Amino acid sequence: MEVARLIFTRFLLLAWLAGCGLLFVSTVTAQTITSDLKPDVRRALSSRQGSTGDRRGKGRANAYVSSGAERSNALRYSSGTRTTASSLVLVPRPVSRFQNSAVPNAPETTPILPGTPLFQVLHTSQISLTSSAGTNEQFVDRTRDLVADERTTFDSTGGSFDIAVGRSGARYEVFSATLNNQAVGVVVVAFDTNGDYQIDSSSTFNLRTDFSLRSAAAVVTGTSKAGREFVIVSSSGYYNSSNPNDPNNEPSPGIVLLVRDNAGGFDPALSRELVTVGDNRLYNANALALLPNNDLLVADFNSNELRIIRDTNADGVPDTLSMTPYYIYQFANDEPLDIAVNARGVVFSHSAGNDTVMLALYDDNSDGRADRDEVCVEGLSIDDNLFLHGLTVDSGGNVYVIEDASGLDDGSGGNGGTPRVDAFPDKRLDGFLDDGSIFTRADDANTQGLTGLGFGALTSNPIDDAQFFVRQHYLDFLNREPDSSGLGFWTNQITSCGTNPTCIETKRVNVSAAFFLSIEFQETGYLVYRIYKSAYGNLSGAPVPVRFNEFLPDTLQIGQGVVVGVGNWQTQLENNKQAFAAAFVARTRFTTAFPTSMTPTQFVNALYANAGVTPSAAERNSVIAEFGSATTTTDTAARARALRRVAENAALAQQELNRAFVLMQYFGYLRRNPNDAPEPGLNFDGYNFWLNKLNQFNGNYVAAEMVKAFLTAGEYRQRFGL
């Protein structure tokens, strides 16, 4: 493999550059060297931090000391109060850890299908614990059950410690190596140029030469507001406080920003240090994660803190390390070994231990710092190692974590478990995780480990375009193409915000809700819902009266040719209602439930009972009178009229409004039933959650954040490619 390295030139090159008219304060160039750098796994395996409580405030001279260093060394759990490693407890309810503990790896013969977007591809490294061999693997969950179905090896030249995937499709692999008896931090920029999910070319950069990084522990990638892709790499800052002469000891960590150029390398004018090696502003930098605003979180394991490098000039690139931590953990055994962030800014972290927890961190007051943590997973087995670990979140909110990363090389205090990737769904992106699955395992539990997790970056999503967003709502809720005046009106509601993100978010929520509340939907889709409710009540074992495959064609029928405000729409709508009701009562299901031998009183009473409303005596008698003096209900037209009148009862419409509003979130946005896959548990827990929340806020969908949650859900956004 051709290997290149970054070289900063400050003095000798200046004269030549000046003569060429290319004078820079400092520059970066690439120079070919002959060594083939590989991950130094043995060095990584020795990077254990020891027992909790022995390290904070100790170690290298003049080291950074956390502002919480004088706190008690109290542990989050005392011995005997925790769950066993074979169980999992999620807040606020207990659940089992895994649904499928016997799931095998996806076989190598099941490759990733061509055209699969990289945001659906999980990248991880499988390293040999006994040699320099290793691979970077890719997995796809095609069936969306949180178990890998497809697999393709991207890079078989040694693996890495962490990996990130840029919007450009470039993979950024980082690891620590040894070159001429020197510890070296390395980043590989790897390319798949033909879309077969295999490496075609790469460049390898020595980060010690220019930035003094003696290791490379973590990597993230993002895109600036100017559209420039950037990569951020950190050294670990490992220090063995019990042995100052440990050859693996490092100075305090450095963090470097590398901005891509157009030639497969990095722009010398923009690439720079964010934190300088040895400046003692951090103790460790063992994991990195970007917040949605591109501020950078840094896990400082020894200090028991999350630090933050903020984007102070609003260019979409983090630039300045804040001396105020993003979060100071409250217990000694919460030290953040790895971190990840979801699309709504919920931060996940875990420490090390044979029976440790994953935490969800929340910035409740939106001041740019976390205010509290909540346990979201218990019973994790995480190896004590600053390099070998993995935690990430996909675009749908699912959280992936590596357990037992180093397998049998976990040291005397470890449990030697099988390296594996576990996946936990977070369907509402709120940090309350549901039952987990084993996503994949190491191929050989005795000789291999897993480390580093990353999905491909999201590119632009068409649903973010205001006009596309509005048109999609016409299709999803009104089942028609938009009329020009309506499209322009609703699009303008959003575009009038300019670039104000808060305004845009608010308008998108309100525009979206307006389609459910519109006259057109209330008189078509919502009427279909109420007709099913009146005819049959709720489905057996379900809190809803109609399924998506019933609702969609019936709504299409009743809304055919109706555009409110255009032409003689009222007559068209009334004709449609009459035709639909007549066809509905002629269906076998209806005639079976309501035989014509029923008396008019029995027929009408059954409809009201199914609807769950009690009409006035006058209204009931009026509906019964649709049958005239008949003693049976053989009159199909009268049946249709009676059904419509019950379905159009004002009390029923009010009673079912919130229930229908929640159901239409699933039908409209997700195009499925609330208990269909990929719903965790295949039940109505999600539906009931949102119904309770909407009721709690008296139907205020903004306060309940219901519409917002569905609009930002990965499942909805993935309908359109992301």
State whether the Cα torsion 676-678-682-685 is positive or negative: negative
> H-type helices in 179-335, by residue range?
207-211
Per-residue pLDDT band for 16 (boundaries 50, 70, 90) equals very low
Beta strands, E only, 448-583: 448-455
pLDDT confidence band for 50 (50 / 70 / 90): low
**Contacts with 569 (C-beta within 8 Å, 6 or more apart), sequence order:** 562, 563
What's the whole-number mean pLDDT along residues 152-169? 93
Contacts of 638 (CB under 8 A, 6+ apart): 600, 626, 627, 628, 630
Per-residue confidence (pLDDT) for residue 372, from 0 to 100: 93
Q: b or e along 318-338 (b: 16 or more beta carbons within 10 Å of the residue's beta carbon)? A: beebeeebbbbbebbbbbbbb
Query: If we measure between CA atoms, which residue out of 637, 651, 633 comes closest to residue 595?
Result: 633
Q: Does 23 score more than 50 pLDDT? A: no
- Whole-number pLDDT of residue 589: 96
Residue 607 has phi, psi (to 5 degrees) of: -60, -45
pLDDT band at 374 (very low <50, low <70, confident <90, very high): very high
> Which pLDDT tens digit goes with each residue over 170-192?
999 999 999 888 999 999 999 99
Q: Which domains does the chain have, with CATH numbers?
A: 7-455 (2.120.10.80), 462-720 (no CATH)
Q: pLDDT tens digits for 585-636?
A: 999 999 999 999 999 999 999 999 999 999 999 999 999 999 999 999 999 9
> Distance of CA 688 to CAs 436, 496, 685, 695, 706, Å?
21, 35, 5, 10, 12
Beta strands across the sheet bearing 134-140: 150-155, 134-140, 121-128, 448-455
pLDDT band at 145 (very low <50, low <70, confident <90, very high): confident
Q: Give CA separation, 340 vs 374, 398, 569, in Å.
A: 15, 11, 52
Model pLDDT, residue 77: 63
Other Cβ atoms closer than 10 A to 255:
27
Q: Which helix (H) or strand (E) holds 242?
A: none
Asked whether residue 28 carries a pLDDT value surpassing 80, the answer given is no
Residues in a beta bridge with 288: 298
Give yes or no for a contact between 617 and 601, defined as CB atoms under 8 angstroms apart.
no
Give 186's contacts (C-beta < 8 A, 6+ positions apart).
Answer: 37, 174, 175, 176, 177, 204, 205, 206, 207, 216
Nearest to 333 by CA among 40, 577, 77: 77
The whole-model pTM stands at 0.66
Q: Is the pLDDT of residue 10 over 60?
A: no
- pLDDT tens-digit profile of 350-366? 999 989 999 999 998 88
Split at pLDDT 50, 70, 90, the class of 554 is: very high
Say whether pLDDT at 95 is over 50.
Answer: no
Residue 104 confidence (pLDDT): 61
pLDDT above 80 (res 80):
no
In this predicted structure, what is the pLDDT of residue 428? 67
Q: Which two tokens stand for residue 387?
A: 């390099």
